[in-house]
Amino acid sequence: MFALLSSAWTVPSLIGPVIASTLADLTSWRGVFLLMLPLIAIAATLTLPGLRKLDRTHQAAEAGPAQPWWKGPLAMSVLLTAGTALLLQALLLKNLALLIPLAVVGAVVGVLSLRHVVREGTLSLRPGVGAGIGIRFLLCAVYFGSEAFLPLGLQELRDVSATEAGLGLSAGAITWVVGSMLQAKRDGKGAGGRSSGVALGFAILLAGVLVMALGMLSDAVPALIAVAGWAIGGVGMGIAFNASTTDTMEQAPAERQGEVSGALQLSQTLATAVLAGLGGAAIALTHDYDGSTRTALSCTFLLTAVLALAGTVASRRLRPAASAR
C-alpha cells in the first residue's frame, strides 16, 4: 500500500518542477504558491466525499490521566512551533550577543515541548515505535534537508537554468517510487528484513548525498552528476521510508495507530523545517561574514551526511531485540 501511495508522486514529480521553473522564469516564483490554491480545492473535492463513506466504528483508545490544558498536546504543539521559529529566526541575526542566547532558548523550548507531542522514547530512540518515529526524523532531515538546496546550488554554483535544476527534483521523486517498489518486493522477509532495508536505504541515501554534493560543489565534474546523485538518493529514500513506516505502524496497537501516524508526520515536517532552516541560516551567516554559498552548502551536506550515518546505526533499533528474533 505504501508503494502504491508513493507511485502517486510520479506524474506530479514529472510536471511539477517544469511548471514551477517556467513560472519562475516567465513571471515570479511567487506565482508557484498561487498555483497551489486551485489544486487544494480539487484535492478536497476528490477526497472528502470518499472520507464521509468510511466505516467509523473503531476501538477507542484508553483515556490517559487528566492533565492541565497547558500540558496538553495542543499547547505543546504551539510551544514547539514557537521554539522552532525562535531558533531559526535567531540564527539570522548578525549580533552574536543576541543570536546565541535566543537560539539556545528556542532549542530548549522546542525540545522540551517535543517530548510531550511524540510518543515516549522517541528522543532516546527507544527500540520499537519510538525509534521508528526518530528514524523518520533522520530520514527526512537527510533527504529534504539536502534536496532543498539542490536547485539553488545548481543555479548559483554551476550556472544551470531553473528548468534544468528541476530535473534533480524530478529524478529524486521518481526513483523514490522505484525504491518503494523494490522494498515492497523484499518486504516478505519480515521484521529483520525491514531493519536491514532501513540500513540499506540510509546507505544508498548517503551515497546519493555525496554524489550530489560532488556534482554541485566541484567544477571538475559535469553539473548533471548532481542530478544523478539525487536519483541515487531517491532509491535509498524509497527503500528506507517504506520499510521504517511499515514496521513502525505494525508495532503500534490498533487503537493508537492514528496517534503514531500523526507523530510520524510531525517528525517528517519538523525535520524538513529544521534542516531547511539551518541550511538557509548557514547561507545567511556565511554571506554576513564574507563567506560563500559554496561554503554554506558544504556545511549543510556534511551535516546531512552525518545524519545519514546516524540513521544507519539507528536502524538496528527499529525493533526490540525479542521482536526481531
- Structure confidence at residue 99 (pLDDT): 92
Q: Considering just the CA atoms, what is the radius of gyration of the chain in Å?
A: 21
The residue whose grid cell reads 523550548 is 109
Give whole-number Cα distances, 278 to 79, 92, 95, 301, in Å. Answer: 19, 10, 17, 11
Using pLDDT thresholds of 50, 70 and 90, give the confidence band for residue 60: low
CATH of 2-25+125-324, one of 1.10.150.20, 1.20.1440.230, 1.20.1250.20, 2.40.37.10: 1.20.1250.20
Cα–Cα distance for residue pair 169/19, rounded to 1 Å: 13
Closest by Cα among 238, 254, 171 to 198: 238
Distance CA 215, CA 209 (A): 10
Q: Which three cell numbers stand for residue 94?
A: 548578525
CB 242 within 8 A of CB 184: yes
The confidence band for 22, taking pLDDT boundaries of 50, 70 and 90, is: confident
Per-residue pLDDT at 323: 54
**What pLDDT sits at residue 325?**
46
- pTM to 2 decimals? 0.87
Identify the pLDDT of residue 26.
84
Compare 197 and 1 and report the one with higher pLDDT: 197
Average pLDDT of the chain is 89
- Report whether 111 contacts 242 (CB < 8 A): no
Residue, of 174 and 325, whose pLDDT is higher: 174
Overall average pLDDT of the 275-304 stretch = 93
Question: Dihedral sign, CA of 249, 254, 259, 262?
Answer: positive
Amino acid identity for residue 97 in this structure = A
* pLDDT of 61 higher than 70: no
pLDDT tens by residue, 262-275: 999 999 999 999 99
User: Average pLDDT for residues 230-238, to the nearest whole number?
Assistant: 95
State whether the Cα torsion 242-316-270-93 is positive or negative.
negative
User: Rounded to whole angstroms, how far apart are CA atoms 316 and 196?
Assistant: 8
- Min mean pLDDT across 18-22, 28-32, 57-61, 97-101 is at 57-61
126: its cell numbers: 527507544
CB contact at 8 A, 139 and 237: yes
Sign of the four-CA dihedral 227, 228, 233, 236: positive
Which residue type, as a one-letter code, is found at position 65? P
C-alpha cell at 42: 480539487
Contact 131, 125 (CB under 8 A): yes
Give the rounded percent of residues in the chain with a pLDDT score beyond 90: 58
pLDDT tens-place string over residues 149-166: 999 999 999 998 887 888
- How far is residue 126 from each of residues 16, 106, 248, 315, 319, measured CA to CA in Å? 38, 25, 12, 11, 9
The pLDDT of residue 95 is above 70: yes
- Residue 303: pLDDT over 90: yes
Q: Is the pLDDT of residue 192 over 80?
A: no
Q: For 241-245, what is the mean pLDDT?
A: 92
Identity of the amino acid at 153: G
Cell of 108: 530548549
The CA distances from residue 259 to 6, 84, 133, 262, 264, in Å, are 22, 22, 11, 5, 9
Which of the four pLDDT bands, split at 50, 70 and 90, describes residue 63?
low
138 phi and psi angles, rounded to 5 deg:
-65, -45
DSSP state of 52: H
59, 76, 118: which is closest to 260 by C-alpha?
118
